[in-house]
Chain A
Amino acid sequence: MPPPVRRIAIDRPPRVLPPSANGAGATAAGSPNPRRRLARPPVSDVIERMRIESVSLAYGARWVVREVTLPVRRGEVLALIGASGSGKTTLLRSLNRLTEITAGATRAGRITLDGEEIERLEVNELRRRVTMVFQQPNPFPMSIFENVAYALREENHGIGLGRARRRRSRRELEPDVVDALVRAGLYDEVAADLDHPALRLSGGQQQRLCIARALAARPEVLLLDEPCSALDPLSTATIEELIVGLRESVAIVIVTHNLQQAQRVADHVAFMHLGELVEYGSSEQVFDNPRRERTREYVSGAFG
């Protein structure tokens, strides 16, 4: 026998909250404009650290990035925006050659770090200089201290080759670890429990720990791949302020799906569509006066 169909009779109109006194616009007017740019401390000087020249990237026979040319400068935040599948993340990952761990990924064009082609650099050396923070907070299952110290410790290459280095002691590492945590704005919250497991932190704290970890070895460039997409608005705001503050000391590239976020944190914005760089310019220009029709549609929310 089939189970009886459960019926929920609605015999009255649904109730909605009463309209507020100021009319429909009250909510929008009551909260700060979400698109307002964050207050940014002046930057002493802007220096180009990386240069992406006619870079194309492919997975197998499928080109996902075509002929992109962009500068990455210390002293400013570069935001890569665009719909899903526009190649932003792939481009970002190619900057520290993380694309190489994907089988079948190929690259054409030149990427330089301080004038040197990144192919010429030893890959782990490059990745110490160009570090990355991911979408999901991913602290390692160790203590907070060890998470940051992990980035600082140089593992001894070649066992028994005579150049095995001594494991650096905690006391030697402590100043650098604390410094990284301070720069990531996490130190005050965790100072008392550096030995607690990192996985007990909240999501926002975990992500800031990942930023601290990425900053610990004093990289020249920090890559952020949608760093706030797994976080709540408050943690997002904290991290955005952090990003703006960090641009003084490190070149920052951020991939984001969130246009308001790009507007809040970025100095320069690159809009990508289907693997091509459609528009690159200052944040104000791209958002307020886009030169291309495609950009206008995207930043106004017509697609994506």
Chain B
Amino acid sequence: MATRATPLTAPGGAPLAGRPRDSIAAWPLADRLGYLTCWAAGIALCLVTAAIVLFMLVKGISYLRPSLLVQSPQGSLDQSKAGGFLDPIVGTLLLTALGTALAAPVGVALAAWLSEYARPAWLARTVESGVEMIAGVPSVVLAIFGLLVFSQGFLSFLSQTSAGGSVFGKSFFAAGGMMSLLALPLIVSSTREALAQIPAHVREASYALGKTRATTIWRVLLPSVRPNIASGVTLGMGRIIGDTAIVVVLLGATLQTEGAGGAPLLSTLRGTGSTLTSYVYTNSPTGEGNAPQKAYAAAFVLLMLVVGLNAIVTRLSNGPRATNAERSPLRRGLRAVRTPWTR
């Protein structure tokens, strides 16, 4: 209720007895304490977030030099010759793109199957607990499992093979594959929840026009949940960008991106590299690089990257608050399919 400027009166003009609004002073003690706790929790969270952002901003900007963004890292004890972190930035982007590209279609398909078919029931239950299981597995466990898998001979085409014939098992392919498992449960659950929110009569309306289940999913249901798929993908990308264990174990966390030879992109994808997270780790006082200034600068770039990606995905799925006429056809299309049922 909005606060009223004039006190409430009865239609006849007589003022109402009692307080015009609930005031906190009139609440029971337990309610007041609960209310206070909620406020305190909210404010505490804001303070922590603000502290992180401010700290990273100050530290990051004070150490960040444009040259750091465009130079490859070099192995040198002299920090002025140790280069920047171009390779880790490229590595982060590449790995995120690869992991998301693998996870998004699989995740959406899984969610659609779980929500719309889910037969036989035992298989659906198994798939469901499988997804939950993956969501709970620590990434370092996924990483060593991945190393085991990708070191198998028949998967040698995804990484490099040493002169002795043993498969290296470390590459963008290997790391991307395992990273996609990190993102998968988030995409599955957000898509599935949104599909469950679509009322049954919307599906029936499509069936009642003589459309198959597949057509209904493809043309009606998935377009309806596009914003939710986008938010699942964003969350998934966040996990991929933020993960370090898989990078260290499966990407090699090498100083520079090292191709495996052959066609340019394929060479990189089969080769090893590093990401901003592994760069921050190795340059932090704990790591072997021990260049905290660069770690701060890289962490700042990482933070900005995450914020930027979130903004892009949110904007793509919601569209800006502009009128339809001013919008590009692509945007208009995206706006038109915004879900009515899941807001």
Q: Which residues on A are within 8 Å of B, measured CB to CB?
A: 1-4, 6-9, 12, 15, 96, 98, 101, 124-129, 131-132, 134-136, 138, 140-143, 146, 150-151, 155, 157, 195-197, 199, 210, 213-214, 217, 223
Question: In the bound complex, what is the Cα–Cα distance between A142 and B117 (angstroms)?
Answer: 24
Which residue of B204, B215, B336 is within 8 Å of A98 (Cβ)? B204
Write the nearest CB–CB distance from B119 to chain A, whole angstroms: 10
Stretch at the interface among B83-91, B147-155, B219-227, B305-313: B219-227
* Seed contacts A6-B18, A124-B212, A217-B209; 13 additional CB < 8 Å A-B pairs: A3-B27, A4-B26, A15-B12, A98-B207, A101-B204, A127-B211, A131-B208, A132-B205, A140-B205, A140-B220, A141-B338, A151-B210, A223-B208
Q: Is the CB of A150 within 8 A of B207?
A: no
Residues on A with beta carbons closer than 8 Å to the beta carbon of B12: 12, 15
Q: Is the CB of B340 within 8 A of A132?
A: no
Per-residue A-contact encoding for B189-222, CB less than 8 Å = 1, 0 else = 0000000000101101111111110110001100
Question: In the bound complex, what is the Cα–Cα distance between A124 and B215 (angstroms)?
Answer: 12
Question: Which of B12, B17, B215 is packed against the most chain A CB atoms within 10 Å?
Answer: B215
**Contact A134 B210, CB 8 Å, known A6-B19, A197-B335:** no
State the main secondary structure of chain B at its contact with A. loop
Question: Which of B16, B210, B324, B339 is packed against the most chain A CB atoms within 10 Å?
Answer: B210
Question: In the bound complex, what is the Cα–Cα distance between A258 and B83 (angstroms)?
Answer: 79
* B34: interface (CB < 8 Å): no
Q: Is the CB of A6 within 8 A of B17?
A: yes
Residues on B with beta carbons closer than 8 Å to the beta carbon of A131: 208-210
**Contact A150 B212, CB 8 Å, known A7-B18, A196-B324:** no
**Contact A134 B337, CB 8 Å, known A124-B211, A155-B211:** no
Residues on B with beta carbons closer than 8 Å to the beta carbon of A101: 204, 207
9 CB-based A-B contacts, threshold 8 Å = A6-B18, A8-B10, A132-B205, A140-B206, A141-B338, A141-B340, A150-B206, A155-B212, A213-B205
Residues on B with beta carbons closer than 8 Å to the beta carbon of A142: 223, 336-337
Question: Which of A4, A125, A138 is packed against the most chain B CB atoms within 10 Å?
Answer: A138
Q: Is the CB of A197 within 8 A of B210?
A: no
Write the nearest CB–CB distance from B332 to chain A, whole angstroms: 7
Question: In the bound complex, what is the Cα–Cα distance between A213 and B206 (angstroms)?
Answer: 10
Q: Which residues on B are within 8 Å of A, measured CB to CB?
A: 10-12, 16-19, 22, 26-28, 199, 201-202, 204-212, 214-215, 219-220, 223-224, 324, 332, 335-340
Q: Is the CB of B209 within 8 A of A127?
A: yes
Q: Is the CB of B210 within 8 A of A125?
A: yes
Residues on B with beta carbons closer than 8 Å to the beta carbon of A134: 201, 204-205, 208
Question: In the bound complex, what is the Cα–Cα distance between A217 and B206 (angstroms)?
Answer: 13
Cβ-closest chain B residue relative to A97: B207
Write the nearest CB–CB distance from B73 to chain A, whole angstroms: 47
**Contact A7 B201, CB 8 Å, known A98-B208, A132-B208, A214-B209:** no
Write the nearest CB–CB distance from B198 to chain A, whole angstroms: 10
Question: In the bound complex, what is the Cα–Cα distance between A193 and B323 (angstroms)?
Answer: 13
Question: In the bound complex, what is the Cα–Cα distance between A143 and B12 (angstroms)?
Answer: 50
Which residue of A2, A3, A197 is within 8 Å of B338 (Cβ)? A197
Question: In the bound complex, what is the Cα–Cα distance between A217 and B12 (angstroms)?
Answer: 60
Write the nearest CB–CB distance from B343 to chain A, whole angstroms: 11
Residues on B with beta carbons closer than 8 Å to the beta carbon of A214: 208-209
Question: In the bound complex, what is the Cα–Cα distance between A138 and B332 (angstroms)?
Answer: 20
Q: Is the CB of A136 within 8 A of B199?
A: yes
Write the nearest CB–CB distance from A223 to chain B, whole angstroms: 8
Q: Is the CB of B336 within 8 A of A197?
A: yes
Which residue of A3, A195, A197, A217 is within 8 Å of B28 (Cβ)? A3
Residues on A with beta carbons closer than 8 Å to the beta carbon of B26: 3-4
Question: In the bound complex, what is the Cα–Cα distance between A126 and B211 (angstroms)?
Answer: 11
**Contact A138 B210, CB 8 Å, known A4-B26, A12-B12, A143-B336:** no
Q: Is the CB of B202 within 8 A of A127?
A: no
Residues on A with beta carbons closer than 8 Å to the beta carbon of B210: 124-129, 131, 151, 217
Question: In the bound complex, what is the Cα–Cα distance between A6 and B17 (angstroms)?
Answer: 7
Residues on A with beta carbons closer than 8 Å to the beta carbon of B204: 98, 101, 132, 134
Question: In the bound complex, what is the Cα–Cα distance between A7 and B15 (angstroms)?
Answer: 12
Question: In the bound complex, what is the Cα–Cα distance between A14 and B231 (angstroms)?
Answer: 54
Residues on A with beta carbons closer than 8 Å to the beta carbon of B18: 4, 6-8
Write the nearest CB–CB distance from A206 to chain B, whole angstroms: 10
Q: Is the CB of B201 within 8 A of A136?
A: yes
